[in-house]
Amino acid sequence: MRISRDEGATWSAGRTLWPHPGSYSDIAVLDDGSIAVVYERGGKGTTHYWDELHFARFNLEWLEQP
């Protein structure tokens, strides 16, 4: 996950939600300002990123940490 505060000219270093095969399905900002992501993921060593569906919720402070 990465964030840009200048319309995409530059981006944060980014944080990893899952270090194995995966893809995101949807992302939203919730009423409290936290960020929600629903994403597909597969286990370590698999080539299938669609084996499981997961939900992650985090705040901007977590996202902006190096």
Give the per-residue pLDDT at 51.
81
Which has the closest alpha carbon to 35: 7, 5, 60? 60
Residue-by-residue DSSP string for 15-63? --S-SSSEEEEEEEE-TTS-EEEEEEE--TT-S-TTSEEEEEEE-HHHH
pLDDT tens digits, one per residue of 16-60: 988 988 887 899 999 999 999 999 998 888 887 788 899 999 999
pLDDT at 10 over 90: yes
Is the pLDDT assigned to residue 62 strictly greater than 80? yes
Question: Domain map of the chain by residue range?
Answer: 22-64
